[in-house]
Amino acid sequence: MDLMTKLSILADAAKYDVACTSSGSSRAAQKGQLGNALSAGLCHSFTADGRCVSLLKILMTNVCVYDCAYCVNRSSNEVRRAAFTPHEIADLTIEFYRRNYIEGLFLSSGVIESPDRTTELMVRALSILRYEHGFRGYIHAKAVPGTSPELIDQLGRLCDRVSVNLELPSRQSLDLLAPQKSGQNILGPMRQIRDSIAEDAETRALVRRKPTFYQQQVSVARKQQAFAPAGQSTQMIIGATPETDFQILNLSAALYRSLNLKRIFFSAYLPVNQDPRLPSTAGVQLNREHRLYQADWLMRFYHYEAGELIDEANPFLAHDVDPKANWALNHLDLFPVEVNTAPLEVLLRVPGIGPAGARKIIKARRTTTLREAELRKLGIAYKRARYFLTCNGAYGGSGISFTREALHGVLAAPINGGRHGRRADNPLPEQMSLFEQTPTGEEVLPGHVGANAMLGASLPQGHPEHLPAPRTYASSTGSHPLQELAAWA
C-alpha cells in the first residue's frame, strides 16, 4: 500500500479522537533543529466545535485487537486497515512541517498485538523524529491503557503531552462497551503520568535553586527530556451511555483535582457501528458537548464548583442558555451588581464578563467611573452583561422585567452577528479532514486552498436535551467529586 493511501486511511481513522491542544509547552526553537513548541510560535486553528487542526493527526495503525463497541476501528469491523512504519511517521511529520502544513504531531493508535508492542512502535517513531530529525515541535501521543510503566516513561519523555482516554464516564459503561479495558489499566498510567510530571517539575525547580547539586544528580539525557511538559489530558464519549451531565461534571472535577489534568475532552458520540449495546437514536449531541465544555471552562478558569452548575435533581445542563448565564438566572437575588465597586470574584459571575475583562474593569475603575461606553471600550460583552449590572447606579437592562423568565428569554434568544452569537444556531461543521475530494472522488491534500475549503459538510444540528425547570442551588450537591472517581475506578 502506498504512503498516500495509508495517510488517507489513518488520518481519517484519527478524526474521532478530539484531544489535541498544545498549551503549556515551553521548548523554543534551536539552531540546527526543527520546530518550536512555544505557544507563541504555534498557530493553531480550531473548528467551530473546538477541535484543533494544526497538528498532523494520525493513527499509527487502525489495526486493533480490541473490540470497543463504539469504535470504527474495532476488530470486528470490516474496514480497510493500514499501518505506518515508525520511519514513515517521522518522515511524514517532517515533510509536512517543511511544507508549513502542520506544526506538530498528534499520534494515536489501535492496539497491535498488545499495549506494550503498540507503545514500543510509537516510541520508536517519536525517537526517530526527535533524535534523527532533531524535531523540537509539539507532540501529543495517546498512551494505550495497560502499557507498562517503563514504556509510559519513555513515551512521556518524547512528548509534550501524553494522554490516556478515560473513554466513558462510568466503569459500568466501560465494562459494557470496552470490556478489554479496565478502570485500573486506564487510571494506572494516568497516575504515573501525573507523578512523573510532578517529579519533573520538582527537579527543574531544584535546578533553579541549586544548579551545582543538580548537575551531579541528574543525567544529561534526563535534563533534556522533560516528561510531558504540556501535561496530560483525557477524553470521554458523551451520549453513548446513560450518564448525566451531573455525573460527568462531578467526575471531571475529581479528575482535575486528583490527576492534575490539563484538559478533559468531551466527544459527542457518533454512531458508526450497529451494536445492541449502543443507543438506537442517531442524534449527535453536539450542543450537549458544547455545554459541557462551557461548564468545564467555568470550573477551570472561573472557580465554579460542579455543584454550583448542576445538581442531581436537574442532572442535565440547560441546552438554550450557557451554564454561566443559567447560574446567574438562578441567583438573581445577587444581581444587579455595581460595576464600579464589585470585587473581582463577583464580576467573574456576571454573564458577559470573563477573567480578562474583569481584570480590565478593576484596573480601569481606579482612574475613571465606568459606564456603558467605557465597558464597551474594554471589550465587555455589554449586550449580555447589562442585565446583571449597574453602571454608576444606572441599570442597563431596563425595558426587560428583572425576572428569571424574562431574562431567560433574552439570553436564550439568538443574537445575529457579533462575537457572542449562539453557536448552537449555526451549522456545526464536521471534524476537519486532512483530505479533500476532487470531483472524481479522489482524495487530495489541501495544498493551496484556504482553511475554509478544508471544512467538510455540515452535520445536523445537535438534538435538544432536557431543559431544566427553574431551580435554586444549594452550595453543595451532597456528592463529593472524589466519590465519583472512586466509583469509576
- Choices 60-68, 93-101, 155-163, 247-255 (CB under 6 A): range interacting with ligand SF4: 60-68
Residue 81 touching ligand SF4 (CB under 6 A) = no
User: Of the two residues 143 and 339, which places its CB atom closer to ligand SF4 in the complex?
Assistant: 143
- Choices 31-39, 46-54, 63-71, 124-132 (CB under 6 A): range interacting with ligand SF4: 63-71
Distance CA 355, CA 358 (A): 5
Residue indicated by cell numbers 432536557: 466
First to last CA, the chain: 41
DSSP-assigned states of every residue in 165-188: --BSSSHHHHHHH-TT--HHHHHH
Using CB under 6 A, which of 3, 34, 66, 271 touches ligand SF4? Answer: 66
- Choices 64-72, 349-357, 360-368, 411-419 (CB under 6 A): range interacting with ligand SF4: 64-72
Residue indicated by cell numbers 457501528: 273
Closest CA to 306 of 484, 449, 427: 484
141 and 3 in contact (C-beta within 8 Å)? Answer: no
Residue 71 touching ligand SF4 (CB under 6 A) = yes
User: Of the two residues 178 and 310, which places its CB atom closer to ligand SF4 in the complex?
Assistant: 178
Q: What is the CA angle 223-138-226, rounded to 5?
A: 15
| In the complex, least distance from residue 16 CB atom to ligand SF4, rounded to whole angstroms | 8
| In the complex, least distance from residue 70 CB atom to ligand SF4, rounded to whole angstroms | 7
- The residue count of the chain comes to 489
Sign of CA dihedral 120, 121, 127, 130: negative
User: Of the two residues 74 and 290, which places its CB atom closer to ligand SF4 in the complex?
Assistant: 74
Residue 68 touching ligand SF4 (CB under 6 A) = yes
Cα dist from 471 to 25, 309, 403, 405, 465, whole Å: 42, 11, 13, 12, 17
| In the complex, least distance from residue 69 CB atom to ligand SF4, rounded to whole angstroms | 9
- Cα dihedral value 19, 23, 25, 28, nearest 10: 120
Residues that bind ligand SF4 (rule: CB under 6 A) add up to a total of 9
User: Of the two residues 111 and 251, which places its CB atom closer to ligand SF4 in the complex?
Assistant: 111
Distance CA 380, CA 160 (A): 34
User: Of the two residues 79 and 455, which places its CB atom closer to ligand SF4 in the complex?
Assistant: 79
Q: Which three cell numbers stand for residue 204?
A: 527543574
| In the complex, least distance from residue 117 CB atom to ligand SF4, rounded to whole angstroms | 13
| In the complex, least distance from residue 68 CB atom to ligand SF4, rounded to whole angstroms | 3
Asked if omega into 336 is within 30° of 0 (cis), the reply is yes
| In the complex, least distance from residue 64 CB atom to ligand SF4, rounded to whole angstroms | 3
Residue 278 touching ligand SF4 (CB under 6 A) = no
Closest CA to 116 of 86, 163, 155: 155
**What distance lies between CA 239 and its chain's CA centroid?**
17
- Choices 65-73, 120-128, 321-329, 378-386 (CB under 6 A): range interacting with ligand SF4: 65-73
- Choices 67-75, 88-96, 150-158, 414-422 (CB under 6 A): range interacting with ligand SF4: 67-75
Distance CA 122, CA 126 (A): 6
- Which 166-195 positions form the footprint of ligand SF4 (CB under 6 A)? 178
Residue 74 touching ligand SF4 (CB under 6 A) = yes
| In the complex, least distance from residue 178 CB atom to ligand SF4, rounded to whole angstroms | 6
User: Of the two residues 66 and 297, which places its CB atom closer to ligand SF4 in the complex?
Assistant: 66
- What are the backbone angles phi and psi of residue 480, rounded to the nearest 5°? -80, 135
Residue 111 touching ligand SF4 (CB under 6 A) = yes
Using CB under 6 A, which of 21, 36, 54, 73 touches ligand SF4? Answer: 73
Sign of CA dihedral 349, 355, 359, 364: negative
| In the complex, least distance from residue 238 CB atom to ligand SF4, rounded to whole angstroms | 15
Residue 152 touching ligand SF4 (CB under 6 A) = no
User: Of the two residues 10 and 328, which places its CB atom closer to ligand SF4 in the complex?
Assistant: 10
| In the complex, least distance from residue 111 CB atom to ligand SF4, rounded to whole angstroms | 5
Using CB under 6 A, which of 86, 110, 323, 357 touches ligand SF4? Answer: 110
Cα dist from 478 to 307, 310, 472, 475, 488, whole Å: 8, 12, 15, 9, 18
In the chain, the amino acid numbered 110 is G
- Cα dihedral value 159, 161, 165, 170, nearest 10: 150
User: Of the two residues 186 and 321, which places its CB atom closer to ligand SF4 in the complex?
Assistant: 186
User: Of the two residues 65 and 455, which places its CB atom closer to ligand SF4 in the complex?
Assistant: 65
Using CB under 6 A, which of 20, 55, 64, 342 touches ligand SF4? Answer: 64
Q: Which residues contact ligand SF4 by CB under 6 A?
A: 64, 66, 68, 71, 73-74, 110-111, 178
